[in-house]
Amino acid sequence: MAAARANNRSRTAERILDIAERLVQTRGFNAFSYGDIARELGITTASLHYHFPGKAELGEALIKRYAQRFSGALGRIDKEMPEAVAKLRAYAGLYAEELAGKRMCMCGILAAEYQTLPEAMRGEVIRFFDDHQRWLAGVLAQGQSQGKLRLAGSLEEIAEGIISTLEGAMLIALPYGDTARFDSTTSRLLAALRA
């Protein structure tokens, strides 16, 4: 009986996170309330507070889950793709998938709201981008050693530029509802890096 209750609590927490993630990616963190989630789930806001005492805790859990999913995707890319160029293409594809669902990268949205976020969330947003920058720098180093990439500048700066370009390309493509704009930017970015 206790295991069933714990499982039900876990499922409810995941449903809360799913709805909150969609709301952040489509509206922004500051543009939704616990009431929005409660109405969609058909539960009380008190039930939400049981799972996540405050919106800051909910936001921190959202970023950690999102970062964990992204990290898993990066691990799969590393495992399945031996060439750096393919890894970079697959990385851009992760952003393209979000855009195809009419969503922004959650941490990109949160970065835009950074000054208004609770402190714990700010740290998680920075950690997300730092982790991606490190991963990309490793891929760039691999591409250089494979003779597949021609890089001018430090690996960290180029990695930062890749993230900035992808986030910006999403931001511009979204209001047009045009993933071709994003794909075109991605293609030009990858072409500029290739040897």
Half-sphere exposure (Cβ direction) of 21: Cα atoms closer than 13 Å? 19
**In the prediction, which pLDDT does 178 show?**
86
**Would 1 be classed as within a structural domain?**
no
Q: Positive or negative CA dihedral for 16, 69, 106, 94?
A: negative
Write the CATH number for 114: 1.10.357.10
Q: What is the C-alpha separation between 101 and 170, in angstroms, rounded?
A: 12
- The CB-side HSE value for 121 (13 A sphere, CA atoms) comes to 25
Residue 127 lies in a domain: yes
What are φ and ψ of residue 27, in 5° steps?
A: -120, -35
Domain count, the chain: 1
76 lies in which domain range? 55-193
Question: What is the pLDDT at residue 5?
Answer: 56
Q: Which residue is it, tokens 């979204």?
A: 174
Residue 4: predicted pLDDT = 53
Identity at 135, one-letter amino acid code? W
81 assigned to some structural domain: yes
User: Which residues lie closer than 8 Å to 10 by C-beta, 6 or more apart?
Assistant: none
Collapsing DSSP to helix, strand or coil, 149 comes out as: strand
The answer to whether residue 42 is domain-embedded is: no
pLDDT at residue 71, as a whole number: 96
pLDDT of amino acid 2: 54
Print pLDDT tens along the chain (195 aa). 555 555 666 799 999 999 999 999 999 999 999 999 999 999 899 989 999 999 999 999 999 999 999 999 999 999 999 999 999 999 999 999 999 999 999 999 999 999 999 999 999 999 999 999 999 999 999 999 999 999 999 999 999 999 999 999 999 999 998 899 999 999 999 999 996
- Buried/exposed 90-129: b ≥16 CB within 10 Å, e otherwise: bbbebbbebbeeebbbbbbbbbebeeebeeebbebbeebb
Residue 69 falls within a domain, yes or no? yes
Whole-prediction pTM = 0.91
Please, is 20 exposed, middle or buried when counting C-beta atoms within 10 Å of its C-beta (0-12, 13-18, 19+)?
A: buried
Helix (H, G, I), strand (E, B) or coil at 61: helix
What is the separation, in whole angstroms, between the first and last Cα of the chain? 61
* Domain-embedded: residue 7: no
Q: What's the DSSP call for residue 83?
A: S
Note the pLDDT of residue 173.
Answer: 95
